[in-house]
Homo-oligomer: A and B are copies of this chain.
Amino acid sequence: MSASGQQAGDLRRPGSVVPQRVKQSLRAILNPVVRLAMALHLTPNGVTVIGLGLTIVASVLVGTGWLLVGAALLAVGSVLDAVDGALARAQGGGTPFGGFFDSTLDRSGEAILYIGIGAWLLRTQADPILPVILLMVALAGSFLVSYAHARAQGIGLAADVGLAPRTERLVLVIVGVALAGLGWTAGLIGALAIIAALTIVTVVQRIRHVWNLTQAAASESKEN
């Protein structure tokens, strides 16, 4: 990814809760993996499918109680998750299907991960009501953030604003699973509560943002 591409990426997402240095170190890992994928003649869509496969394995591991191994695999998967797009750019630009496929499988992976965490909470917690409801709100909130973005794109608007885009959510949930793996379940429940709260705020931010954009467009077309 070029420096200007990075900057554009940063400018599009103000108010992120993940420090820039975390994002930068993720990017530093990215380039050698992209070169490896090219050497192995993998297509971007192939990398997307491998990424979903890793997430499914990680989710089964988390669901069956191997939380630390699952969190480590999710961290590896989160790098792969950026590789498909970077590989597509390195090969001269992605296809419309590739972008659609990547986004849809990203959402599937997010859901599968939350279901794995849900299975673990249901199996191990004496009173799973609050944690599982927080998990469902976090899952639904995450989906709504992505849905609002995609739906705005459908009417030609960019709803990239908000506190909880995908990378931030992923870092929070991986840290939460790792904390639970270290024996501190309240860390996971806290991470889910933070994701639930941040995603609800982000959905409201995106609805307001699209409202402002459509109002600005309407008053502009009246003036002309």
Q: Hey, which bits of chain A sit against chain B, CB under 8 A?
A: 95-97, 99-101, 103-104, 107-108, 111-112, 114-115, 118-119, 122-123, 128-129, 132-133, 136-137, 139-140, 143-144, 146-148, 150-157, 203, 207, 210-211, 214-215, 218
Contact = CB atoms under 8 A, between A and B. Distances in A.
Contacts of A147: 103-104, 107, 143, 146-147, 150
Nearest to A212: B97
Contacts of A137: 115
20 contacts: A95-B214, A97-B214, A97-B215, A100-B151, A101-B207, A103-B151, A104-B144, A104-B207, A107-B143, A108-B144, A111-B136, A112-B140, A115-B140, A119-B129, A119-B133, A128-B128, A136-B139, A139-B139, A146-B147, A153-B154
A113 to B, nearest CB: 10
Contact of A97 (B103, B104, B210): B210
A153 B118 CA distance: 31
A3 to B, nearest CB: 27
A104 B154 CA distance: 12
A63 B85 CA distance: 42
Nearest to A45: B211
Given A119-B129, A122-B133, A107 B214 contact: no
A150 B144 CA distance: 12
A137 B118 CA distance: 11
6 tightest A-B contacts by CB? Answer: A111-B140, A153-B154, A150-B150, A97-B214, A96-B155, A143-B143
B203 A144 contact: no
Contacts of A150: 147, 150-151, 153-154
Given A100-B214, A139-B140, 9 more contacts: A95-B214, A97-B214, A100-B207, A104-B144, A107-B144, A112-B140, A114-B140, A136-B139, A139-B139
A139 B143 CA distance: 10
Contacts of A104: 144, 147-148, 151, 203, 207
